[in-house]
Amino acid sequence: MIILPSPARIVGYSLLVILAVLALAGPEAFNLDPVRQSLRNTLLPPSATHVLGTDHLGRDMAARLLSGAQLSLSLALLAVVSASVFGTTMGIISAWRGGWIDRAINTLSDSILALPGLLLVLMMAAISPGSWWVLYVGISLTLWVEYFRFTRQRTRILLDHPSVQASRLLGFGYPHILKRHIFPELMPGLFTLAAFGAATSVTAMAALGFVSVGLRPPTAEWGVMMTQLLPYWREAPWLILQPIACLVVTVLALHLSVGSLTKPNI
Amino acid sequence: MIQRFGPLVAGRLVQAILVALVVAIVSFAMMQALPGDAAYRIAAGRYGYDVMDAAAAELVRTELGLDRPLTLQLLDWVVALSTFDLGNSLVSGNSVWSEVADQLGASLLLAICAIVLSVLIAAPIGVVAGLNAGGWVDRLSLVVSVATRTVPAFALGIILMLWLAVEAKLFPVAGYGNGRHLVLPSLTLALGLAAVSNRVIRDAVYDATRSPWYAFARNKGLSNSAVFRRHVARNVAVPAVAYVGVQLAYLIEGVVIIESVFAWPGIGHALVHAIFERDVPMVQGTALTLGLIFVALNLLVDLLCRWLDPRGAGSLR
Amino acid sequence: MIDRLFIALALALAFFIQNVGAAESSEIRVAAPWEISGPDPSTDGFVFLRMGVLETLVSTSESGNLQPGLAENWSTTSDGLTWRFTLREATFHDGTPLTSDAAVTALQRAVSNPGPLGKVAIDSIEADGRDVLIKLTSPFLPLPAVLSHSSTVIPAPSSFDPNGKVLSAIGTGAFRVNELKPPQSLTTARFDGYWGEKAEMASASYLAVKRAETRALMAESGDADIVFTLDPAGFKNLKSVDSLKAVSVAIPRVMLIKVNAGHSMLGDETVREALSLAVDREGIAAGITRYPEAAATQTFPPGLGDWHNAELPALAYDPQRAKSLLAKAGWSAGEDGILVRDGKRFSLTMRTFPDRPELPLVAAAIQDQWREIGIELNVSVANYSEIPKGHQDGSLEVALFARNYGSIPDPYGSVLSDFGAGGGDWGSMNWDNPEVVAALGKIANTDDESVRTSLIKEIGKAIHTDLPMIPVVWYQHTVAYKKGLEDIVIDPLERSYGLNLVNWAQ
């Protein structure tokens, strides 16, 4: 792990909070409409009426970026939550029960790990192009493995720990052991994984959108916006830089908030 | 020899089979989920929107036997797949393997150049930063690394394209043909890889310089460069090579996206294209090849680590 | 150690930066969006025709008129049923002479594959000395025009394997294939045995680059000498680049909204008129395709001869009138502003496809403009085969696409299949106009120009008032090339790049 100095984490958290608030508020909160076009007011530079200018169809850029933030962050949140819940549950079951259940889940996770994550998401995207749900399923399917492997490995060690053994002997049930001994130990690691998972899903969505196999126009997705605004680089260079900046800031915030450039080794 | 490397090979072999399995399952799901009529889509891919119509689709249907019962077609597909015959591209009609073989060279060239370039960038910076930990090179490289790594590969590609090709006109924006075309895509990938590996090297060098054997070597009067050559280099190589293994996923994913950004005619570009056209045999062939390359490179890294450090704790995956 | 690493780095960079393949002056490099899937004329004939590798029996001039190609001349019998094409003396790139047998084989192949020749009522194609005899079952005057289509190019017999599969593109053109690397590139060299004007350039190469902005950048950076089909933004940029010339010519391609006239909401002529009135064509032409003069005033663009009728009133943009027409048809605004009639919302799905990047953009613009008059439009961007498919199974409501009325020099064939009886996959749907069908039938048999003209006007008028297809904008063929290049031909039919005539100014 490449650890970053601690002020980085504060910057990261602040950026994340700002992004989350903006995404939650959405374009509606600023009385903006991301689909409203004005074909006679295209490629306008930033001004009082259009804070970030207008795109090639005369749509308000700020509104579209906010709407893109909603798409990206909601995908990241949902994918990370479902992957972590599923992966952690599988990890605990695997560690606790052992035997053929452990072997079965392990084989499943190995088969997903055998392919680079994005490849799986790409292939999933081919099943139903342009669908948000397929991206969500594909990304979650890739992400859960990390949670599973991390949880399984740590839980196995924790279960052997004398304090857990003692709890078991004292007759405490699974809920108690999980709550008192396992989860507190797992949480920091899970949060780190969550931040990386979120960065992965935001990036994957934009990358697929950019190469035209993800969400489709006229959706205000950051990657799609980059593809569409690239031709106007000469006339309106500020336009393409906006979705790129949004994506970079989001990924940067996520990396800074966990204070690391690289995932923990699992 | 077999004892030493056998288990590594066997483990990766199992992985290779799993790759084939996953690709087959997803491709099957794709076949099932394809909406509408395969004959129409194939005709569309072949003839273009100015010529393609219902009559063209019916010609394709008879030509490819798409009017046979679904169960029969499915059976054919399974039989063909088990003999590694992926059939022909639905769009070009050429055999999938011959197309993949054509693209493989371009992809490997790009990947190798990216790795070499990333080492050329990362090694000097990492070594200098590690030897002078806390110095300005060290701090600057950290900031630049963070900045570079957090820019997703394709966005980095766009930025480099706009900056070095469009504004500065140093390199061609896209295409394939001579060495200059290779620069931007491989540089894009190399920067992403070097952003992390220079820090890995820096940490390893830093650890090495603080170890007792380093002090001993210096005390016995060896020159700076002699110590570096004989002791530090090998100790740094192990984590650096092992880290390449961790980065392989980044590399393969990067190749897929970057090839599309720069119109580099490799497997990744073909995969994205096939997904766009929904050319199932091509998706299968390209995804399978990329998956197998991933496994093979992982094996290579394992073997290299084992060879560099026979104590056997090298592999990270 | 470190020094050595730095030296290695510097050397490597020097190697990369070194200009390995600088353009030679006797080479011309073309970049265009169309990928090549192989040497088969039925799928890729257009690339080989444009690059001057393969040729057709009939060729076209710069103004779009027919002129001799591989056939020196042609004639038809008085009943119009037998056509005779006399071949010129020409040599294939493999050294064998052009024979009528080779032409017959190629044409028979074109008949059995998709393309316009297969739609002609052909009885037989035979060789007769140096002539090719084509017998029809009913007269068809535009046959020579059809024989200029790229799917009817004549490859050498050695291009085929014994099973009739096409192995290579060996033709009669000014350039022969050096290397074909599907899907991206084709390199050719001058063919010294060419029958026509021999090429000035020693070699020509074709690179398929799908992204329009990438092509524009290649023109700007000098990586390509001629770049075809630019996006509006790229074209505008290139116009201001000193070393380049960027030109555009109007082409007979038009963007249309196909309307299912059998749909319960769209059968009414006034509803279709309302849909048309709500489309801001000038806005789309100015803002998206960025060629304000190209807002369609009628279906057929200027340059299509009699088919374009300047007397027709231009299609207007009048959302207020559209609203009142819809109100008259019994539609009233619901709670969310979307029109409702008998409890049914006025909601439609428009199918379009991403292969032409402007289509999804225009679809989004129309979505916005139709919402203005209370129509909810869902845009479905998918494979374009969904449009013919939806036509066949009746599920299509509206579709947006670009139709080329100049794929052969005479638009008659396209109009017949688009607006004739039963409509067409890329034409009208569930709209049958007996007068149009009758007029189309008469045109095929008449060689009296004035009768023909009045019939064409009649058809044009019916299409203009009934609106089975709603025109949006006309297209431009855009090209950018280096200033040093001379004698560039910009063919509005996009049949040929005329590369054999191109040369570098001294």
pLDDT at A61 over 90: yes
For residue A36, give how far its alpha carbon lies from the nearest alpha carbon of chain C (Å): 7
Phi and psi at A265, nearest 5°, equal -75, 130
Report how far residue B111's alpha carbon sits from residue C109's, in angstroms, rounded to the nearest whole number.
Answer: 43
Name all chains with 3 or more CB-CB pairs below 8 Å to chain A: B, C
Contact C184 B229 (CB under 8 A): no
**What is the DSSP track for B29-85?**
HHHHH--S-HHHHHHHHHH-TTT--HHHHHHHHHHHTTTS-HHHHHHHHHHHHHTT-
Q: Say which residues have a Cβ less than 8 Å from residue B112's Cβ, sequence separation at least 6.
A: none
Return the pLDDT at C24.
Answer: 45
How far, in Å, CA of B1 to CA of B8, rounded? Answer: 12
CA distance C266 to C261: 5
Comparing CA positions, the residue from B156, B152, B245 lying closest to residue A199 is: B152
pLDDT at C23 (0 to 100): 43
- Within 8 A of C287 by CB-CB distance, chain A residues are 39-40, 42, 56-58
Q: Chain A residues with CB inside 8 Å of C358's CB?
A: none
- From chain A, the residues in CB contact with B195 under 8 A are 261
Hey, is A62 helix, strand or coil? helix
* pLDDT of amino acid A261: 65
What would the two tokens of residue C110 be?
A: 């074109």
Most confident of B198-202, C334-338, C471-475: C471-475
Question: Which pLDDT value is given to residue A66?
Answer: 95
pLDDT above 60 (res A35): yes
Residue type, A90: M
Q: Is C382 helix (H, G, I), strand (E, B) or coil?
A: coil
Q: Which two tokens stand for residue C285?
A: 């032409």
Strand-pairing partners, residue C85, are C74, C132
3-state secondary structure of C244: strand
Query: Mean pLDDT for chain B?
Result: 80
Q: Which two tokens stand for residue C300?
A: 């057929």
Q: How far is CA B58 from CA A56, C164, C184, in A?
A: 40, 20, 28
What residue of C is the nearest CA neighbor of B89?
C37
Residue that is written with structure tokens 């502003």 in the block = C337
Pick the closest to residue C188 from C70, C48, C91 (CA basis): C48
Which of A79-93, B235-249, C213-227 is least confident? B235-249
Of all residues in chain C, the percent with pLDDT exceeding 70 is 95
Backbone dihedral region of C166: left (phi > 0), alpha (psi from -120 to 50 degrees) or beta?
beta
Work out the pLDDT band at C347, boundaries 50, 70, 90: very high
Q: What confidence tens digit (pLDDT) does each residue in B105-153 have?
A: 888 889 889 988 998 999 889 888 888 888 888 889 888 888 888 888 8
> For all residues of chain C together, what is the average pLDDT?
88
The share of chain B scoring above pLDDT 70, in percent, equals: 91
Beta strands in chain B, from DSSP E residues, in sequence order: none
B·C CB contacts under 8 A: 158
More confident residue, C455 or A174: C455
B32, amino acid identity: Q
pLDDT of residue B311: 64
Query: Using CA atoms, how far apart are residues B281 and B72, in angstroms rounded to an integer?
Result: 17
For the CA atoms of chain B, what is the radius of gyration?
24
Which residue on chain B is closest to C208 by alpha carbon? B175
A-to-B residue pairs, Cβ atoms closer than 8 angstroms: 140
Cα angle value B266/A72/A262 (rounded, 5°): 65
pLDDT bracket for residue B34 (50, 70, 90): low
Return the closest-CA partner of residue B249 out of A68, A266, C254.
A266
Q: What is the DSSP letter of C292?
A: G
Residue type, B222: L
Q: CB of C379 within 8 A of CB of C371?
A: no
Top-confidence residue, A42 or B86: A42
Residue B312 banded pLDDT, cuts 50, 70, 90: low
Q: How high is the pLDDT of residue A137?
A: 92
Question: Which residues neighbour A54 within 8 Å (Cβ) at sequence distance 6 or greater?
Answer: A38, A41, A42, A43, A44, A60, A61
Confidence check: pLDDT of C494 > 70 = yes
Q: How far apart are CA C265 and CA C287, in angstroms?
A: 30
- What is the three-class DSSP state of C428? coil
Highest mean pLDDT among A4-8, A256-260, C34-38, C453-457 belongs to C453-457
**Euclidean distance between CA atoms C69 and C56, whole angstroms:** 6
Phi, psi of C207 (to 5 degrees): -125, 125
Placement of tokens 């080794």 in the chain: A265
- Helix ranges (DSSP H) in C444-485: 449-466
The answer, yes or no, to whether residue C17 has pLDDT greater than 50, is no
The ipTM estimated for the assembled molecules is: 0.80
- How far apart CA C220 and CA C396 sit, in angstroms, is 42
Q: Rounded to an integer, what distance in angstroms lies between the CA atom of residue B95 and that of residue B85?
A: 9
What is residue C8's predicted lDDT score, i.e. its pLDDT? 52
Using alpha carbons, select from C44, C35, C41, C73 the residue that is nearest to residue C155: C41
Confidence at residue C11, expressed as pLDDT on a 0 to 100 scale: 52
Instruction: Return the DSSP state at A2.
Output: -
Distance (Å, whole) CA C426 – CA C423? 8
Question: What does the pLDDT read at residue C230?
Answer: 86
pLDDT confidence of residue C25: 63
Please check the confidence at residue B265 and state whether its pLDDT lies above 90.
no
What's the whole-number mean pLDDT along residues B271-291? 84
Structural tokens at position C248: 């555009």
Among residues 182-201 of chain C, which lie with CB inside 8 Å of chain A? none
> Out of A39-43, C68-72, C259-263, which region has the weakest mean confidence (pLDDT)?
A39-43
Which residues in chain B (274-303) have CB-CB distances under 8 A to chain C? 277-278
Per-residue pLDDT tens digits for A142-165: 999 989 989 998 898 888 888 888
Contact criterion met (CB below 8 Å) for A66 and A22 = yes
Contact check, Cβ <8 Å, B287/A252: no
What's the pLDDT score for residue A81?
Answer: 96
Residue A28: pLDDT band by 50, 70, 90 thresholds? confident
- The pLDDT, as a whole number, for residue C271 is 93
Task: Kindly identify which residue of chain A lies nearest to residue C292, measuring between CA atoms.
Answer: A40
Highest mean pLDDT among A70-79, A117-126, B32-41: A70-79
Q: State how beta strands C339-341 and C332-333 pair.
A: antiparallel
Q: pLDDT for A205-254, tens place per residue?
A: 999 998 888 887 778 899 999 988 888 888 888 999 999 999 999 999 99
DSSP one-letter code for C168: -
Cβ within 8 Å, pair B272-A251: no
pLDDT given for residue B317 in this prediction:
37
Chain A residue numbers touching C236 (CB-CB < 8 A): 235
Judge whether residue A130 has pLDDT over 60: yes
C189-227 per-position pLDDT tens digit: 999 999 998 998 999 999 888 777 778 888 887 888 999
B276 has a pLDDT exceeding 90: no
Mutate to test the interface with B, among A6, A127, A252 (most CBs of B within 10 A): A127
DSSP-based three-state secondary structure for C190: strand
**CA-nearest residue of chain C to B224?**
C1
Q: Do A57 and C361 touch (CB under 8 A)?
A: yes
Q: Are B126 and B201 in contact (CB under 8 A)?
A: yes
> What value does the mean pLDDT take over residues A91-101?
90
Cβ proximity of C501 and C486 under 8 Å: no
Using alpha carbons only, give the angle A36, A41, A42 rounded to the nearest 5 degrees.
Answer: 85
Nearest to C381 among A40, A216, A228 (CB): A216
Find residues 62-81 of chain B whose CB sits inside 8 Å of chain C: none
Mean pLDDT across the stretch A52-58?
90
Higher pLDDT, A127 or C423: C423
| Confidence category of residue B196, pLDDT binned at 50, 70, 90 | confident
* Of C399, C409, C431, C400, residue with least CA distance to C418: C431
Question: Is the per-residue pLDDT at B282 higher than 90?
Answer: no
Residues of chain A in contact with residue C365, where contact means CB-CB under 8 angstroms, are 37, 39, 57
CA distance A227 to A212: 8
Q: Tell me the pLDDT tens digit for each residue of C154-176.
A: 999 999 988 888 889 999 999 99
Looking at per-residue pLDDT, the higher value among B123 and B90 belongs to B123
Q: Kindly state the helix (H) or strand (E) to which residue A119 belongs, with its residue range.
A: helix A117-127
DSSP letter string over B74-102?
HHHHHHHHHTT---B-TTT-SBHHHHHHH
pLDDT at A2: 59
pLDDT beyond 80 at C387:
yes
Residue B316 predicted with pLDDT over 60: no
> What's the pLDDT score for residue B21?
79
Quote the CA–CA distance of B35 and C235 in Å, as a whole number. Answer: 37
Chain A residue nearest residue B291, CA to CA: A115
CB C184 within 8 A of CB C47: no
Give the bridge partners for C127, in sequence order: C132
Cα–Cα distance measured from residue C125 to residue C4, given in angstroms and rounded to the nearest whole number: 73
Q: What is the mean pLDDT of residues B237-252?
A: 77
Amino acid at A191: F
Suggest the residue from B42, B46, B49, B99 to mutate for an interface test with chain C (most C CBs closer than 10 A). Answer: B49
Greatest mean pLDDT range, A238-247, B177-186, C2-11:
A238-247
> Which among A217, A228, A234 has the least Cβ separation from residue C381?
A217
- How, if at all, do strands C344-345 and C339-341 pair? antiparallel
